[in-house]
A and B are shown apart, each in its own frame.
Chain A
């Protein structure tokens, strides 16, 4: 019973082939690391396939899991960065540390409150409609719209301050 039936397996493989490259690329842009992007995308697909028969909308599940795994990654690397800063206090940071040109926008997204960040990433970045994001996050549509507005306003303010 545990192994995927042939039809399910074919459907799963089709979904994997169609979605994995974009999901992994989507994650890579958030974590700046191919290996971590593969880890996160693989874990999202693993959780999806482990629950394959119980999900109506596998794509939204994939992106929601990936969003949360990115959040965990950011949280962990944030702790590690703080730890490294403690260990290397007084040592100038490598100016070439930030590899991505758009890292400032991404860093600001990373700094958003989790509630705003999830909605922002799923709607604006992953492209899911507000209604679907509301369903994924278990919030009313109006609340999601407000969260999106606040997230955007915060980013805009932060970028404006940096000009």
Chain B
């Protein structure tokens, strides 16, 4: 047998035999690329590409996509990448063996996010755990739907899209994975535009065709606890965790910032002191929490990581190195189920950062002391804006600096401040029907000075809440029936 080096060199140096394109290939590629560009253009025309959202709540069990035209009651189905026709399509069964998919009709071709409705219905019992918008009209929710054990595949993860800011919803294909369970499953979604999107928490899946097809991404044994998109990149927090069940992010020991240029599926640690982030030595061993916030586009855009140590790390959205910043007035504190901070909530827009420092909650009284801080210089200096509302336990904060608007989601409801956080009004109480322990809202975000969205902490309500007047009033919008 020849020397191994020789065999490797022989393989590497063998002439690559060109493979000529079939007739019409360039035109097909050009048209396909044109359609994808057009989808981006449609999105851009509708408004700035602002991704907002994600629920911090422990995900419930829910979701599906219906088979259009199947003529049968809605039945959940997670639609994934179709297998090439030349190969056998096999799907793992719940028992861990292999079987052809027989419990439901063959999944239809992928349904994708669109500027108009795709026509695919939303499955019943859709329980949204995360919401994202890419414009003033187009967005998506992810969650579980249908009835566990009666989905078309063994997974009930589903997506729904909207082109009218939540007034109506349509079915979108979903990753072939379940609800979060330790290292597996997804609960959150972000889209960069009408093509590129990611489902995560704790696994990471990617789509390049608006959700029609999803592919799992390697995370090297780490769990993705946060992900945001801006410009032509996605940034994510990869955490080393041991949490089980839906608490996949509750027992993490370190977190690192990764980034990927859209379309490349190449996730790399960001340069700079943003890897292996841990609490201060004095609190080593305690579970870490961290959050990620992006503002603006790639030219003037900036990203921030609220690190477990309480430091604010920041950097450009170009892939260049990030830098360490000052210590914040409070540390992130204990993690929620998905690894999100519970004691320090960060929000930012292009001109201002807002930090809500939340004290230990009085769970029985459903109160919590909160202090609101703002920074107008990228986090270098902070000033006290005021006390936050004492009612409710804080879960999420949003800011629109141009209108001095700050919104706070709590388990008591949604609060609004029109003076930068000095004074607050409860503008939406906890939705009726929310189960104990899942009252109020887990997320609030703004896509413009007037439009915003909030996610009830109880996914079983099947709702998102929409505002069109800067958080003064909110309307519940059903994603699906029960």
Contact = CB atoms under 8 A, between A and B. Distances in A.
A32 B11 CA distance: 14
B4 A51 contact: no
Name which of B1, B11, B30 has the most chain A CB atoms within 10 A of its CB.
B11
A49 B30 contact: yes
Contacts of A86: 97-98
What are the nearest 8 A-B pairs in CB distance? Answer: A49-B33, A21-B18, A159-B4, A138-B268, A24-B19, A105-B11, A50-B36, A2-B37
Interface string A41-72: 11001111111101000000100110010001
A16 B26 contact: yes
B299 interface: no
Interface in B1-46: 1, 4-5, 7-8, 10-12, 14, 16-22, 25-26, 28-30, 32-34, 36-38, 40-41
B195 interface: yes
29 contacts: A4-B30, A16-B21, A20-B21, A21-B18, A24-B21, A25-B18, A29-B17, A35-B86, A38-B19, A41-B19, A42-B29, A47-B263, A48-B33, A64-B266, A72-B215, A80-B83, A80-B88, A83-B92, A84-B88, A102-B11, A105-B8, A106-B11, A114-B218, A138-B259, A138-B268, A156-B4, A156-B5, A159-B7, A159-B8
Interface string B249-265: 00000000001001111
A75 B84 CA distance: 14
B264 A102 contact: no
B72 interface: no
A135 B314 CA distance: 21
Nearest to A138: B268
Main secondary structure of the interface of A (DSSP, over half): helix
Interface of A: 1-4, 9, 12-13, 16-17, 20-22, 24-29, 33-39, 41-42, 45-52, 54, 61, 64-65, 68, 72, 75-77, 80, 83-84, 86-87, 102, 105-106, 114-115, 118, 124-125, 136-139, 152, 155-160, 162-163
Nearest to B7: A159
A77 B89 CA distance: 11
A137 B87 contact: no
A138 B272 CA distance: 12
Contact of B16 (A3, A29, A41): A29
A17 to B, nearest CB: 8
Contacts of B268: 137-139
Contacts, number: 152
Given A137-B268, A155-B4, A47 B21 contact: no
B232 interface: yes
Nearest to A157: B4
Contacts of A41: 19, 21
Given A22-B16, A34-B19, A65 B264 contact: yes
Interface in B70-103: 81, 83-84, 86-88, 90, 92, 97-98
Interface string B123-154: 00000000000000000000000000000000
A9 B19 contact: no
Given A35-B86, A65-B263, A72-B215, A3 B17 contact: no
A157 B8 CA distance: 11
Interface of B: 1, 4-5, 7-8, 10-12, 14, 16-22, 25-26, 28-30, 32-34, 36-38, 40-41, 81, 83-84, 86-88, 90, 92, 97-98, 195, 208, 215-216, 218, 220, 232, 259, 262-266, 268-269, 271, 319
A61 B264 contact: yes
Contacts of B86: 33, 35
A162 B269 CA distance: 35
A162 B1 CA distance: 9
Given A47-B263, A72-B215, A80-B87, A42 B30 contact: no
B90 A9 contact: no
Given A49-B30, A105-B11, A80 B90 contact: yes
Contacts of A33: 86
Given A20-B21, A21-B21, A159-B8, A26 B16 contact: yes
A49 B27 CA distance: 11
Contacts of A52: 33
Contacts of A75: 216
A12 B30 contact: yes
Contacts of A68: 264-266
A111 B17 CA distance: 24
A127 to B, nearest CB: 9
Given A114-B218, A138-B266, A35 B14 contact: no
Contacts of A38: 19, 21-22, 25
Given A25-B19, A38-B25, A46 B32 contact: yes
Q: Which of B21, B40, B41, B319 has the most CB of A within 10 A?
A: B21
A42 B28 contact: yes
Given A16-B29, A21-B21, A35 B84 contact: yes
Nearest to B36: A50
Given A12-B30, A38-B21, A42-B25, A83 B98 contact: yes
B208 A47 contact: yes
Nearest to B96: A86
Contacts of B28: 42
B29 to A, nearest CB: 5
A55 B150 CA distance: 45
A10 B33 CA distance: 15
Contacts of B263: 47, 50-51, 65
Nearest to A85: B98
Nearest to A151: B8
Q: Which of A4, A47, A50 has the most CB of B within 10 A?
A: A50
